[in-house]
Amino acid sequence: MTQQAAHGTGKVYLIGAGPGAVDLLTVRATRILAQADVVLYDALITPDILALCPQAEKISVGKRSGQRSTAQVVINELLIDCARKYRCVVRLKGGDPMLFGRADEELTALESHGITVEVVPGITTAFAAAAATLQPLTKRGIARSIAFFTSATAPGEPDLLTLPNTDTLIQYMGGREAVVTAKKLLEQGRSPELPVVVVENCSLANERISRMSLRELEQGLGEKQGPVLVMIGNAMAQRPKSR
C-alpha cells in the first residue's frame, strides 16, 4: 500500500519490538504497526510480529551478529527515502530502540532532513530475561546498581571496554564475548563463584536458561543458536522457585 506523504515527508516511528514474543509489544506499537505504510525491520523480528502489519510494504534490513547485514548508512538513506514516499514509516527494532539500537545515528540522519520522528519504547531483553527467570536484577542489601553493556563495536573501532564496578552486570549480545568478560571480572578480583544466568532466545518458545558460576563462564558457553543475554552478580543466586 503506497500513500504519498503529505507536505513532502511522512513521519518515522522508531518502534521497539521487545525481546521477541508478539504479546510483549506495547499497545501503541501494535496500533502504529496496523497503520504503517512501510516497515523496515531487523533480523530478529519474528513472523508473528510482522503479521501485525499485513497492509505494509516490508523491507528487511537485517542486522545480526556474525552475519552479513545492511550497513547503517544504507538504512539511514532508506528511512529518508521512505519518509519522502510514505505517510507512516516504521523502523522496527528488537528490544528498545534507545538501548544498543543505533537510534542516535538514525535520529540524527532523519532530523537533519527535517523529518518528524517519534520513538515508541519496547521491553528491553534484560527486563524480559529477569521476568522469565523470576530473578530480580536488584535485591535489598545485595544489589542496588545495574550496568548494561555490549562488547560489539563498529568496524575498525578498538575495544576499550572497562567493566563498571556495579552489583549486577548485564551483557547484551554475549555469546563468545562473555568469555572475555569473565576473564576481565576475575582479573578485577571478582569471586569465581559469582552467580551467572544466561538466557538464549528470551521470551520465545525455544528459550533456554543456563546457570553457572563466573569460573564456568570463563570456559565458554558452547554453541548458541539465538541471541544471548548474560546476567552476572550476587543477585543472580538462584531463588527457591526461580527458573
Residue with cell 497503520: 35
State how far the alpha carbon of 9 is from the alpha carbons of 1, 79, 215, in Å.
16, 11, 54
Closest CA to 16 of 37, 30, 6, 2: 30
Cβ neighbours of 74 (radius 10 Å): 11
- From the list 42, 81, 104, 183, the catalytic residue is 42
User: Cβ neighbours of residue 37 under 8 Å, at least 6 residues apart?
Assistant: 1, 2, 3, 10, 55, 56, 57, 86, 87, 88, 89
- From the list 11, 63, 93, 96, the catalytic residue is 63
Contact 10, 66 (CB under 8 A): no
Residue with cell 553457572: 212
Q: Tell me the HSE value of 78 on the side-chain side, using a 13 A CA sphere.
A: 18
Closest CA to 227 of 34, 7, 66: 66
Q: Tell me the HSE value of 103 on the side-chain side, using a 13 A CA sphere.
A: 22
Catalytic site includes residue 93:
no
Catalytic site includes residue 85:
no
Closest CA to 137 of 182, 164, 173, 169: 169
Active site residues: 42, 63
